[in-house]
Amino acid sequence: MPPVPPPPPPRAPRQPADRGPLVRAVLAVLVVGLTVLALAVMVNGQRGYQDWTTWAIFATVMAAAHLLPLVWKGEPRRVWDVVALATVGLVFYWVALVLPFIGYATSFAQTMAVACALAHLWLLPGRR
C-alpha cells in the first residue's frame, strides 16, 4: 500500500487589500482634473483661465495641493494640515466665484471637485 502523502499545510487566510491609498489617489486626481476642466472649458463665452486668470491659478494651486500626499511622505498630521488649508482655499473660491453661477455646467464640475476635495480630506491619515 503506497504511503499517503501528508496533507498540504493550511494556507493563511487572504488579507483584504487596503484600498485606502488607491481611493485617496483617485480622489486627489479628480480634484485637480475637475478643477482644471471647469476652468478650461468655455461656457457663455467665458473661460476661467482667460477671464479670471488670478483666481483660476489660485484654484488650480489649491486643487494641486491635494496631490501632495502622493509625493510628500512627511508626518501625516502635517500633510493633513496643508491639504486642509488648501481645501479651505478651494471652498472659499467656490463660494466667492462659482456659487453665483451654480447653474452652469462648469460650476457643476467645480462643485464636484470641491466635494472630492472634502472627501479626500476626510479619508486622509492624520485627520484632526
Partner 1 sequence: MRTRTLAWLGTALAVLSLGLPWRFLVGTPGHVTSGYYTNYCYYDYFGTYVCDTSFTPGVFVPGLTGGSYAGTDSVARFFIVAAIALALIGGLYVGSARPVRWAAYAGVAGVLLYAYYGLMGGLLAMAAASVCFWLAARHMPDEAPA
Residues that bind partner 1 (CB under 8 A): 91, 95-96, 99-100, 102
Q: How far is the CB of 100 from partner 1 (least distance, A)?
A: 5
Rounded to the nearest whole angstrom, what is the least distance from the CB of residue 118 to partner 1 in the complex? 10
CB of 44 to partner 1, least distance (A): 16
Rank residues 99 and 105 by Cβ distance to partner 1 and give the closer one. Answer: 99
Q: In terms of CB distance, is 22 or 96 closer to partner 1? A: 96
- Which pairs count as long-range contacts for 107-111, CB under 8 Å and 24+ apart, including other chains? 107/38, 109/34, 109/35, 109/37, 109/38, 109/41, 110/34, 110/35, 110/38, 110/39, 110/59
Nearest Cα residue to 120 out of 50, 57, 69: 69
CB of 102 to partner 1, least distance (A): 5
What gap in Å lies between CA 26 and CA 37, rounded to an integer?
16
Q: Cα(first)–Cα(last) distance of the chain, in Å?
A: 68
- Compare residues 36 and 121 and give the one whose CB is closer to partner 1: 121
Q: Which CB sits closer to partner 1, 72 or 122?
A: 122
